[in-house]
């Protein structure tokens, strides 16, 4: 497993607030240094924008407690992950997680309706996604569906969310 982080520019910030388009070009040049084949092998690309200090102060109360946090807590997420893993084991056999499914197995265990298939086809063409990315999107879509309760077929919302995690494919 590889987990990596990078800054959007050599300086570490986007600089977009100050200088507009020239910083955007510098950021695109910097990101273009990443090898396409390397990026293709990374399943999820997620942008984590800077959190303004005011928001940090809101989230951490004066006594250091977590106040005003939004989103799902760790215990709830853990339960959803365990339930999704159980669905995968029931469907695919013990120890057979979505991340390890072959293309043929994806055809069997991650069928798509026509609208979902059409969306994935458009994303492949418009974003220039590779054959490797095609299977990664299908695997991730299967996992997203499992986290939501295990729909038999991949739907448009599963494909759309999975494609949204191919952020760097769109920049290279």
Rounded to 5 degrees, φ, ψ at 45 are: -120, 115
Residue of higher predicted confidence among 15 and 168: 168
Distance, CA of 128 to CA of 122 (rounded, Å): 9
Least-confidence region, from 37-46, 80-89, 144-153, 159-168: 37-46
| pLDDT tens column, 155-171 | 999 999 999 998 777 64
- 53 in Cβ contact with 65 (< 8 Å): no
User: Domain residues of the chain, as ranges?
Assistant: 74-170
Which among 80, 49, 51 is positioned nearest to 68, based on CA atoms? 51
Tracing tokens 């407690």 back to the chain, one arrives at 65
What pLDDT does residue 13 have? 67
Residue 18 has pLDDT above 80, yes or no: no
- Per-residue pLDDT band for 172 (boundaries 50, 70, 90) equals very low
Region 95-99 average pLDDT: 93
Distance, CA of 36 to CA of 100 (rounded, Å): 22
| pLDDT tens column, 57-67 | 776 555 555 55
State pTM to two decimals. 0.78
Region 4-23 average pLDDT: 68
What pLDDT does residue 104 have? 95
Region 4-31 average pLDDT: 71
Burial zone of 138 (CB within 10 Å; 0-12 exposed, 13-18 middle, 19+ buried): buried
CB atoms within 10 A of CB 30: 16
Average pLDDT over all residues of the chain: 85
Distance, CA of 93 to CA of 86 (rounded, Å): 10
What pLDDT does residue 152 have? 93
What pLDDT does residue 111 have? 97
């Amino acid at each position: 497993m590889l987990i990596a982080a990078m800054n959007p520019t050599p300086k570490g910030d986007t600089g977009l607030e100050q200088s507009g388009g020239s910083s955007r070009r510098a950021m695109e040049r910097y990101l273009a240094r990443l090898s396409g084949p390397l990026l293709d092998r990374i399943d999820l690309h997620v942008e984590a924008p800077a959190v303004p200090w005011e928001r940090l102060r809101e989230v951490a109360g004066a006594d250091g407690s977590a106040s005003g946090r939004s989103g799902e807590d760790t215990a709830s997420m853990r339960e959803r992950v365990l339930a999704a893993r159980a669905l995968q084991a029931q469907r695919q056999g013990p120890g057979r997680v979505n991340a390890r499914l072959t293309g043929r197995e994806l055809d069997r265990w991650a069928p798509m309706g026509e609208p979902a298939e059409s969306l994935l086809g458009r994303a492949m063409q418009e974003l220039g996604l590779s054959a490797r990315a095609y299977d990664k999107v299908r695997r991730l879509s299967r996992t997203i569906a499992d986290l939501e309760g295990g729909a038999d077929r991949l739907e448009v919302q599963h494909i759309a969310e999975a494609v949204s995690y191919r952020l760097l494919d769109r920049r290279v």
